[in-house]
Each structure stands twice: as C-alpha cells, then as structure tokens.
A and B are shown apart, each in its own frame.
Chain A
Amino acid sequence: MKLLINPSSRRSFLKQLGIVGGGLIVGVPLSACANRFPHGVDTGDRANLQANAYLQITADNQIHFYMGRSEMGQGTYTGLTTLIAEELDVNPEAIQVHHAPVHKAFTNTDYGQQATGGSTSMKISYLPMRQAAANTKAVLLNAAAKQLSLPVSELQTDNGMIVHGEQRIPYGEFVALAATLSVPDNAPLKDKSQFKYIGKDRPRLDGQAKATGTAQFGIDVDFPGLHRAVLVRCPVATGTVKTVDDKAALAVTGVKKIVTIHNGVAVVAEHYWQAKQAAALLNIQWDIPKKLAAFSSDTGEAQFKAALDGDDYDTAMDAGDGADALQNAAQIIRADYWAPYLAHATMEPLNCTVKIENDEMDIWVGTQSPGLARGLAAFYGDIDKAKIRVHSTFLGGGFGRRSASDYVGEAAAIAKASGLPIQLIWSREDDTRHDLYRPAAMARFQIGVNKDGHIDSWVVRRSGPNIMAYTIDEALDAIAPGFLPNGMVNWMSKAGYGLYDGVTVDHSSVEGLYEDYSVPNKEVQHVTVDPGLPCGFWRSVGHSFSGFFKESMMDEVALAQKQDPIQFRLTHLKDNPRLANVIKIAAEKSAWSAPRNANRAQGIAAHTSFLSPVAQVAEVSIENNEILVHKVTCVIDCGSVVNPDMVKAQMESGIIFGMTAALYGEITLKEGVVQQSNFHDYPMLRMPQTPEIEVHIVDSNEAPTGVGEPGTPPIAAAIANAVFAASGKRLRRLPLKLG
C-alpha cells in the first residue's frame, strides 16, 4: 500500500527515489531560497532553483529522512537529523537517515547543484529542514484530531506520540488519514525556549556505526561479480597514453581485462591485489604535457615572484583611492608570503564502483557532488544521465577532494570499456600524485600606515593558479547538453579556462586577503601564474593561504608600530564587531597578557571565512629548532548552534588539519612530476604533536554560519606569530621551518 499525499510531479520524484513501503511522505516546497553561484557553476537548469526536504513516516512508525547533504565527518548527518527531530518531536535516534539520490529537490540553494561544501549545510538547512518537519507534525495533528474526534487544540505531541490527557498514540496510527489531508506549508516553528535537542551537546548519530566498522564507505561496496580496477596515470598530470605493452600484465592470475581510457591504462582483475601487481608490469609510453613537464618547484617559484614584480595584473577590487593612497603613507610596510601546493590526503583513498547493465548505470560512491558525479559518469560512460542512479555512501574524508568527480569519470570509462562491473581503487601514491591540489600562492603586501600609526592603505597582489579554471572544465563535461560532441565540450572548457586570466578574477584566488579590517583605501591585484598542475577546492579554499598571509602581515604591521597585536587588530575592527568579539574572548580565555613560562610564547590570528569569525591563540615553544605547539585557544561565532559539541569537534578538526599544513604540508614538482607519494614524504600531524585545544562558542541567536572550514585558516598565522614572539624570527613561508 502506497499512500501519497503529493501531486503527480512528486509521485514521479518518489519513484525515482525508489522509496519502498507505504506511509506518509511529505515533500515541502521551499521557494524563498535565493539562488547564487559563488563558485561559478550554474547547471543552467532553471527548474533547479528550488529545494525540497523529504520525510517518510510509515504505519509501523518508521521515520525515514532522505538527506541531501553528504556526511564526510563534519557532522551534517547528526545536525540535519537534529533539526528534523526537534520540529517533528521525535528522538533523533529514532530517525533512519539515508543519503539521498540525485534529484533537484536536494539542490544546495547556495550552489545551484546537489553539493556539499563551502560550510553551507547548516546555513541553508536550519529553517527549511525544521519547516519540513513542523509541517509534517501539523498534518499528523490534524489527522489525529479528525480520527479521535477532538479539537486539535487539545492534542499535543511527545516523542513520536500524539498525546491527549493520559492517552498516547504513536504517529503511525494516523499516517493513513494524514495522507489524505493537505499539508500546511507554514506550520509554526518552535521558539528557542522550547528546544529539546537543538543547542544541546548530543552524541553523533553515526558514532556507533563508525565505532563498530559497520558504516559503509564507497570502498566497502561489494557484490558477486564485482571486479577491482587499478588505473595507471601519466606521471606528469593530464598526460595521455601514446602506446601500451600489456602482455606481462595480462598474464597475471586473475587479470580479466586491460583497457586504455582518456587518462591512463586500467587493469581489471578479480581482486585489488592482483590488479595492483599487474599494473606494475604495464609498459606505457605517454604524451606528456610540455608546459607542466617544464616546471620544477625549486626554479619555478621565481615565476610567481616575477609576476609580483611586473606591471601586468588584474584588479580584483579597490576601495577609496586604492594603491594611489600609498603615496600619502607615513610608513609603508612590505612583505612577500608563500604557500605551496597541497594534497588533500583523505584517509579513504578515492574509489568508485560502477555497474552497467541493460544500458543503465548504477554508481556507488562517496561524493560531495552526486549531481556532478552523475554528469561525469554520463560523459565518460557515454550513457544518458536519466539512466544513471547514484548511490551515495559515507565519505572517508572530503575536505573538498570529493567535490570533484574525476575518479567517477575514470570508473565509468573503465566499466564502459571493459564491459565489467568494476570498483576503481586509487592507491595512496595515486592520491598524492594525482590530486586536484590546493594551489600554490605568493602574495605581496604593501601596507601604508599614517602618522597616527593607523593603517591607511592595504594593497595586496597575489600570484598563482586559479581553481575555477579546473572546476569549470569538469563542470562543463558534467553539464553540457548530451547532443554536443565531446570535442566541442573540450573546446568550451579551454575557453572557460582563459576566462580567469585577464577577463575576470577567480574570487577564490583572492578571498580573505583584504576583507576583515576597516581600512579606507584598499586594492587587491591578481596575476595568474599556472604551471598546469590541476587544482581544486581544499578545506577553506583561498582562505587556507590568505588566512596565513593576512594575519601574519597584520602582526608585522602591529609590531612595527610597537603595538600589542590584539589591541592593534581591535582598533581596525570598528566595522566588524563579530570578529572583534571573538578576539576579545580569545585574549581573555588564553590569558593573553598574563606572564608565562620563559620559553613559551603566544601568537594570535583571527579570520572570517564562510561567514564565521574565528580567533585562535597558539602557545608554542621552540626546542632544537623544532616548533612545538602546546595549546590552542579557539573562539568561533557561528550564529545559532545546533550541537555545540559538534562545533567543538570541527574546531579541533580544522586546527589539526591546518597544523599539518602549517608544519609539514608541501607538494613539490620536478619536471612536472609530483615528488611526494605517501605518508613518509607527505606527513600528517599525529597524536604526539597534537596540542591541547580549548574551544569557546559565542552564544548567539543569529542564523547559523559555517563551521566545517573556518577553524582552519587562522592556525598557521597564530603559530607563526607565536614563533616570532618566541624567537624574533618572522616566517613568511609555509610550511613553517626554523633554521
């Protein structure tokens, strides 16, 4: 029995969902959400400009929540379910959560596509998810009133029950009748004072599955007849296959097929271990991209510097008199900063499972972008998008890496070429050498200070690659209409690439370099320098380097004026009270001005990203030229908080992730080949290097803002500023190294 209260369009949607069983299924259209494309990707489908949240309640009291966002550790599984639980008035643990399939109902309204990123999930979901649940509860109450012949005003709800006096009846009893009633679209939401779950520390809902090894990641997908694939790619990224000798590899036991695809040669075998051994026996000649092959990091960094020295730049923004105001400065403080390429190193190596049967495709994958994943699979698997089903799993880390779908395109191409159901598994070496890297960046600051010691002009020029140039390439493959030949799509991609060199500035290349402080004259300039190594979104994107650059520079300027770094920041935050507030709290909680052990020193950094201001004070010592970080005090203002402990966890996570970049992270190239390969030469922070982390969250009634990323940008500068306080050495390069 299937009881639907929805009009026919929703009926077909539900069919696509493959929802089984009957019950009350509520779709809530939410039309008030603005649609923007801050990352430049517009699917072009204007029907996408609407989000829907979906809930199913069955007669036997199962509550199913189809979650449009991806759980990659950030806690959205717990957070969004908490919103539903609060307004539906059920225990969050009683809700069964499913990663949703691809459908426009699950479009991220900030991006115009079904994606999880940019620390947006809670921001875009806080009211819509609650409204969806409140409307559902309202129709259940209306149904109960009818069924019990009582005025609705005499009924209440409590933990999945309709309550009337002593009588308690489960929601499921009213599902059949509710399915015949119309659903209100603006049922009242709870007041903060009525919250049972929102705002409370509660354990993660996926904690038990992840503590017992039963949470299913993409790599855990398995079924009879599934083969494993290993892909050998060109050592110089983006190179293609010229010739291949696969005789020796084909002779390995278990090897079924060897196929050449757009970017390499794939060995398909019964087991991963066989495929991996056979792949080492392939003899491949490559067409190597000349530009990238000409780049080596040790000499190539000069290109970034030459771009800062030259006169050819794009203006990303200017305010007041811009750079001209430098002429009036009493003092100009100049410095150059550098940040290298970085890999993501998600703990779960990239993988994707694809089965093609009867001209239909099933994909099992952990992805931040199920919509783009489907588009790439259609492009490389040469199959109609409408005939592709994406089954999303938990992600073994995202950090932006799984917002790209290169690995999905590869898997689709291998499945198509081999005619076998396959699971493509990247090795750690593949992951380190064929990432879409955090772009390297160099920045030059010229900060003009007036005779009163205030900053009067803020001029910064950045050189480096642009992420959007690579993102638009992939997005075009995914969204271009099927009737366009692939050659045409590739041409459009190249035209798109050119957009970010001389036509417009990719905002992610300069974000965070200039916004936070009140300065009358500002100018931001950009010069594209791109050796050709593919780049992508990396936790906090442009802020990952600009937070270090800007906050180190601010420290330099403060100290040049013989000012306390905190006081100096506060005097330049007259228009930014939220950032000023987190700095003040961080100063107090870290005992900023208190005397401390002679070999310990503190540094402050504060940065706004994804709408959330964060301040961090790092306490360090230096022993044998090694930087030891003992304690980090962190303060965030992220608006209304759904689960304070999850916010705390994300601050811990963002800081530790940022510390790996601050102390170790560096991808270098030699003749276009990435020199790092695994955790021995691309090390990660481990437990012994982890400092004590103390997190404070500003109490707020404002709308929620980002949490997953804002903890990362300040930490490198906080450490570098503490190192200066301890040693008098100003470190202007990442990773931070003394001596």
Chain B
Amino acid sequence: MIRFQLNGQTVEADVPSDMPLLWVVRDHFKLKGSKFGCGMGLCGACSMMIDGQSTRTCILPVAAVANRHVTTIEGLQDQDSQRLSALQQAWVDNSVPQCGYCQSGQLISATALLKQNPNPSDTDIDNAMQGNICRCGTYPRIKQAIKTTAQQTAAVQMFEPTTAAEG
C-alpha cells in the first residue's frame, strides 16, 4: 500500500511498487489528464509536479512518491472555484493547444518554471520547456503564454497594496 498526496488529497493505492506513477494515476485513480507519450521519459506528456518539480512519471515507480506531493493537470485549477490558473487562462487566450495531447505536460512544466522563476528570460523558458515535445508545433504560443503570464503576475505584484506601501 502506497500513500501520497494527489492534488492536495491524501490517497492510497494497493498497486505493485514498481508500477509507473503515470499508470497508477490514469488507471487506478482514473485521472486521465496526464498522458502516455513515449514510456521513456523523453517527451514530457506524462509530466506531473512532484514537490513542485516537473517530473516524467511514465518511468517513475509509484514507490518513489510515497508521502510526497503530486500535482497533475487536474490540480492546477482552483480546487474550490474551478477557476483556471493564470497560465491555463493564458493558454486559452493565446489559443495555444492544437491537438492538445501534450498540453497537460506543457502546463505542468510551465507552472513549475514560474513557481521557481517568476520572471524567466527566453533562454530560461527554452531550458525549462525543452523536455516537452509538441508535434503540432505550439512552441511559439507556449512561450508567448508563459511570458504574458509572467508579466501579468509581475504587474499584479507591483500594485499589491503592501508592496506599494513599502515601495
């Protein structure tokens, strides 16, 4: 029996300890947003955040996430209001997805990037996103959506009352 945090909820699964996390989440917990793409950790379609780091879960034994925090695409929205995250909204506004299959993984990697680096340069974005393949070629729009979100977040912070008072 393996226990971990899945999108903020404590969950338990009675599965073989070497079963990849991706298949535990998809087949056992029936969360279908994270995708199978290559089975070798090469394409990023299966990305989930593990303690805030974008991680390839098609090759990650479920035992490795015991007592850790796993966030999937289903966990990016506000869990109460179901409001989209700022990045998700930017994805919609910029018409980022095409076929859409890789986009859960792209959003996980982008979310992890902005958590660690709220104001990334183009090179920072390239480095953080190069593990996620998109066969439809949505890269220019992914980059644009990340930059737009970073700028908006920076603007909000600039005008946050406490910051303004201190400034």
Contacts and interface: CB of A to CB of B under 8 A. Distances in A.
A656 interface: yes
A217 B126 contact: no
Given A204-B97, A273-B19, A686-B130, 11 more contacts: A75-B98, A211-B84, A212-B73, A212-B84, A347-B134, A396-B101, A428-B38, A653-B138, A678-B40, A686-B132, A687-B125
Contact of A213 (B27, B74, B137, B141): B74
A687 to B, nearest CB: 4
Nearest to B77: A212
B135 interface: yes
B120 interface: no
A213 B34 contact: yes
Nearest to A399: B135
Interface string B59-93: 00000000000001110110000001000100111
A314 B20 CA distance: 54
Contacts of A207: 91-92, 95-97
16 contacts: A207-B96, A210-B97, A212-B73, A213-B73, A219-B36, A222-B30, A346-B101, A348-B35, A397-B135, A398-B99, A425-B36, A657-B137, A678-B40, A679-B40, A686-B139, A687-B143
A38 to B, nearest CB: 25
Contacts of B23: 271-273
Interface of B: 16, 19-20, 23, 27, 30-40, 42-43, 45, 72-74, 76-77, 84, 88, 91-104, 107, 125-127, 129-130, 132-143
A518 interface: no
Interface of chain A, main secondary structure: loop
Nearest to A273: B23
Interface in A703-725: none
Contacts of A646: 95
A355 B80 CA distance: 37
Given A206-B100, A686-B130, A219 B35 contact: yes
A347 B40 contact: no
Nearest to B129: A687
Interface string A660-692: 000000000000000000111000111110101
B131 to A, nearest CB: 8
A388 to B, nearest CB: 25
Contacts of B96: 207, 211
A347 B102 contact: yes
B139 A347 contact: no
Given A72-B99, A212-B73, A212-B88, A680 B40 contact: yes
Contacts of B35: 217, 219, 347-348, 396
Given A649-B95, A657-B135, A349 B100 contact: no
Interface residues of A, number: 61
B39 A213 contact: no
A410 interface: no
Given A212-B88, A678-B38, A222 B32 contact: yes
Contacts of B99: 72-73, 346-348, 394-398
A605 B1 CA distance: 60
A73 B77 contact: no
Interface string A232-273: 000000000000000000000100000000000000000111
A185 interface: no
B82 to A, nearest CB: 9
A360 interface: no
A73 B138 CA distance: 10
B42 A679 contact: yes
A91 interface: no
B41 to A, nearest CB: 10
A647 B128 CA distance: 28
A652 interface: yes
A655 interface: yes
Nearest to B100: A210
B107 to A, nearest CB: 7
Identify which of A272, A346, A395, A654 gathers the most chain B CB atoms within 10 Å of its CB: A272
B93 to A, nearest CB: 6
Interface of A: 72-75, 203-204, 206-217, 219-220, 222, 228, 253, 271-273, 345-349, 394-399, 425, 427-429, 645-646, 649, 652-657, 678-680, 684-688, 690, 692-693
Nearest to B38: A428
Nearest to B72: A213
Nearest to A643: B95
Contacts of B30: 222
Given A425-B36, A688-B126, A74 B43 contact: no
Contacts of B107: 211
Contacts of A74: 98
A692 to B, nearest CB: 8
Nearest to B108: A213
A213 B125 CA distance: 22
B39 A428 contact: yes
Contacts of A654: 137
Identify which of A211, A428, A649 gathers the most chain B CB atoms within 10 Å of its CB: A211
Shortest 10 CB-CB contacts between residues of A and residues of B: A213-B33, A656-B137, A210-B100, A396-B101, A73-B99, A73-B98, A213-B73, A210-B97, A220-B32, A211-B91
Nearest to B30: A222
A364 to B, nearest CB: 13
Identify which of A206, A212, A655, A657 gathers the most chain B CB atoms within 10 Å of its CB: A212
A211 B84 CA distance: 9
Nearest to B123: A688
A537 to B, nearest CB: 16
A688 B130 contact: yes
B90 to A, nearest CB: 9
A708 B18 CA distance: 42
A349 B91 contact: no
Contact of B100 (A73, A253, A680): A73
A252 B76 CA distance: 37
Contacts of A399: 135
Contact of B45 (A253, A347, A657): A347
A645 B95 contact: yes
A217 B36 CA distance: 11
A679 B140 contact: no
Given A73-B136, A427-B39, A687-B130, A211 B32 contact: no
B101 A348 contact: yes
Contact of A211 (B101, B103, B127): B103
Contacts of B103: 210-211, 213
Contacts of B137: 652-657, 685, 690
B84 A656 contact: no
Contacts of B92: 203-204, 207-208, 211
Contacts of B84: 208, 211-212
A678 B42 contact: yes
Contacts of A216: 32
